[in-house]
Amino acid sequence: MKHLLSIADLNKSEAISILDTATELGRVSDGAVKKLPTLRGRTIVNLFAEDSTRTRISFEAAAKRLSADVINFSAKGSSLSKGESLKDTAMTLQAMGADAVVIRHPASGAAQRLAESEWMSGSVVNAGDGTHEHPSQALLDAFTIRKHLGMGGTDLSGLSVAIVGDILHSRVARSNVLLLSMLGAKVTLVAPPTLLPVGIQSWPATVSYDLDAVIPHVDVVMMLRVQQERMSDLFFPNAREYSRYFGLNGERMANMKSGAIVMHPGPMNRGLEISAEVADSARSVITEQVTNGVSVRMAILYVLLAGGALEVGSN
């Protein structure tokens, strides 16, 4: 495996092996060992053409724990904001000898364009492209679910997951539907019809418009952020109405199964899709998702970079 662009690039055993690797790497970072020499001498560029807190910091921490050199590069403060093209940026990175580029970009397909181009030879990791995919987030979500609710198995069979909210604009939802269903979970999407993409019938998931009917039957409620920055039209009448029908509050949380967990990929709009009471409750694993993100991203970088694929011909 050279690139991680989409969950569709992975088969079930590859996905499980990334989760297993993350489990072992997580034990490493729990203990006294914070740094491993595995990727010493490798250069990883974080190319972030779109704002991010968690994903960028998480990839940076993951790369540093594996002793890689990290170059951070964001749209603000770089020539991207002067209108430099992706091609010229990529060729600059190639000239500097980047072994891998972690890319976030507002355009869907940007990571794939970079991977398939001849602009650079390193690995490409998609850290979110437009409204397409965010595979590392889905892997860390699956990892978190398996850690909490996986019944000793390696996959997620027997579990049901509700993904609630702005499915239309959510790359997290796309990647999660693919990954969670591949791992055997039953996925239900809950959203107002205006926030569901065209062609949703072909996704490996069921659709509901009624959050209250779904909540008592699922093991995981994954809330999505309402992505106002991507909304050019009016998708729902007003925030209060959205919150009333599709927000997760304390009252709804009380109807959840015992042991069921609440997830959110962040950043949260507290009071819109999730109430502060829920976000800070014992069911919430939101901060744990962030912790697990580092282990999962270490596993991704390990799988893509530790092997010899890039060094064909040497030795």
Partner 1 sequence: MSVALSAQEITRALTRISHEILEKNQGSTNIVLLGIPTRGAHIATRISSIITSIEGTEVPTGTLDITLFRDDLRMRPPRAIMPTKIPTSGIEGKDVILVDDVLFSGRTIRAALDALGEIGRPRTVALAALVDRGHRELPIKADFVGKNLPTSKSQSVKVLLSEIDGRDEVTIEEGAE
**Among residues 24 and 84, whose Cβ is nearest to partner 1?**
24
Pick the closer one to partner 1 by CB: 32 or 234: 32
Q: Which is nearer to partner 1, 147 or 283 (CB)?
A: 147
Between the two ends of the chain, the Cα-to-Cα distance in Å is 20
The smaller minimum CB distance to partner 1, of residues 75 and 296, is found at 296
- Please say whether the beta carbons of 134 and 159 come within 8 A: no
Q: How many CB atoms lie within 10 A of CB 44?
A: 27
Please give the positions annotated as active site.
54-55, 82, 104, 134
List interacting residues with partner 1 (CB under 8 A).
Answer: 17, 20-21, 24-25, 27-28, 31-33, 35-38, 66, 302-303, 306-311, 314-315
Spatial separation of the C-alpha atoms in residues 135 and 149, rounded to whole Å = 21
Residues, the chain: 315
Shortest Å, Cβ 1 to partner 1: 8
For residue 267, say if its preceding peptide bond is cis, omega within 30 degrees of 0.
yes
User: Least Å distance between CB 38 and partner 1?
Assistant: 4
Cβ proximity to partner 1: between 140 and 222 the closer is 140
Q: What is the DSSP secondary structure assignment for residue 259, as one 8-state letter?
A: T
Residue of 221, 186, 184, 224 lying closest to 206 (CA atoms): 186
From the CB of 311, what's the least distance to partner 1, in Å?
Answer: 5
* Min separation Cβ 92 and partner 1, Å: 25
As a whole number of angstroms, the distance between CA 291 and CA 109 comes to 28
CB of 121 to partner 1, least distance (A): 15
**Rounded distance, CA 226 to CA 246, Å?**
11
Torsion of Cα atoms, 138 then 141 then 145 then 150, to 10°: 40
Question: What is the rounded distance in angstroms from the CA atom of residue 228 to the CA atom of residue 95?
Answer: 37
